[in-house]
Amino acid sequence: MKKNIVLFVLFILPIVAYLFFASGINSFTKLPVITPKVNDFGKWKSLQNEKVSLNDKITILGFSGTNILKNRGNFFNLNQKIYQQYHTFKDLQFVVICPLGTENDAQKIVDALSAFTDVSQWHFLFTSPEEIEAYYKQLKLVGNLDSDFGTPKVYIIDKERNLRGRKEKKGYKEGYDTFHPSELSNEMLDDFRVILYEYRAALKKNHNATKQL
């Protein structure tokens, strides 16, 4: 009897576990597209005056609003829970759209983060409140920006400029609330890993196809 138990633990249980987790991964290799082909940023000004584009990047997109310093804890939550774990992934960027006039406050956020983080993948873009409203509307989200042209939520946009989210009982989860670290650690991190798995699987498939050629 003991021998059978040992054999089960050593051989059968690992196979069952593998099949269970493999089936789970295969079930979540795609996040639904909420809004396809969202607009790129154009020539909006950034802190470093570099060109920032959604093309060929996995983008975590946020809207700071005018009270960027008041909401600085949200950026630290996002930095701690998501950015620091994955910022070495070269095709990833964190982009925050801010109203013109908040450049100094945004620089203070960057300076504070740079004390313990490589901030090269953080990008703060600046444009008029009217353009921020227009850009947000074309994302076709359920909620609205607040009166300061910001939101605590961030959004996942894939390399093809599709806004992605998760299917829920009452529709879709479009964004992730940076005010709540638990939401970032659980729902957003899970969905972000799905996106990474999706692209790694595609890279592997393309690599195998190239080898066969």
- Tell me the pLDDT tens digit for each residue of 118-129: 999 999 999 999
For the chain, give the number of residues: 213
Distance CA 167, CA 34 (A): 10
pLDDT per residue as tens digits for the range 37-82: 999 998 898 999 999 999 999 999 999 999 999 999 999 999 999 9
Query: In Å, what is the CA distance from 62 to each residue of 78, 96, 177?
Result: 10, 5, 10
Question: What's the N-to-C CA distance of the chain in angstroms?
Answer: 52
The type of residue at 26 is N
Q: In the predicted model, is pLDDT for residue 29 greater than 70?
A: no
Give, in degrees to the nearest 5, the angle at Cα 171 between 165 and 174: 30
Q: Do residues 160 and 76 touch, judged by C-beta distance below 8 A?
A: no
Quote the pTM value.
0.83
Average pLDDT over residues 128-136: 97
Q: Which CATH architecture has domain 33-205?
A: 3-Layer(aba) Sandwich (3.40)
Nearest to 190 by CA among 170, 165, 211: 165
Cα dihedral 140→144→147→150 (10° resolution) = -70
Q: Percent of the chain at pLDDT above 90? A: 70
